[in-house]
Structure 1
Amino acid sequence: MKSAHATASSSITLDTLPVRVVATIRSIRTATKDGAALKRRLMELGFVPGERVEVLRRMFAGSGPLAVRVGTSTFAMRTLESSMIEVVHA
């Protein structure tokens, strides 16, 4: 049985998830007051805890937007948004 500490350390953010690796959304973090509106928008688009997510492609050698699939939808995401989404390997 894994400890709570081991489980927490296995989470990463979506912007660091390797391409074509399926993960499960654990939470959406906010660092600023303005982040609450962005968090709400991401959740409206389907980025909710428990949903499976996959990075399909990285643009511009990892420094640009990501092509991300959540559910049956595909989105282009900036690093700002993808760094807010905490995931664990599925």
Structure 2
Amino acid sequence: MGTLRDAEVGSTVTVTKLDGEGALKRRLMDMGFTKGCKVFVRKVAPLGDPVEVTIRGYELSVRKDDAQNIEVE
């Protein structure tokens, strides 16, 4: 188990847990990251920030600091 930040490009992972508190956790949930949700890692910017993913049928860019708070398997 790791975080979305560590996921390989081209892989599909499943969200297992959201870390963080209050507004951060709420924002991640509003973006569609919930337990059991499938996330496809499309690409990572050259310096690692941001991470581009496909979740629930739409494309989303997530900062690596935020991706660190999303545990996946």
TM-score normalized by the length of structure 2: 0.92
Count of residues in correspondence between the two structures: 73
Structure 1 stretches of at least 4 aligned residues deviating more than 3 Å after TM superposition? none
Partner of 1:40: 26
Structure 1 gap ranges (5+) = 1-10
Q: Secondary structure at the match of 2:35?
A: coil
Paired residue for 1:23? 13
Q: Which residue of 2 aligns with 1:56?
A: 42
Percent of matched pairs sharing the same residue: 30
Structure 2 spans left out of the alignment, 5+ residues: none
Cα deviation, residue 15, structure 1: 0.4
SS at match of 2:10: coil
Quote the residue 1:87 is aligned against.
72
More strand by share: 2
Cα distance, 1:21 vs structure 2: 0.6
The higher radius of gyration belongs to 1
Give the CA RMSD over aligned residues.
Answer: 1.0
1:73 is matched with: 58
Structure 1 length-normalised TM: 0.76
Which structure shows the higher helix fraction?
A: 1
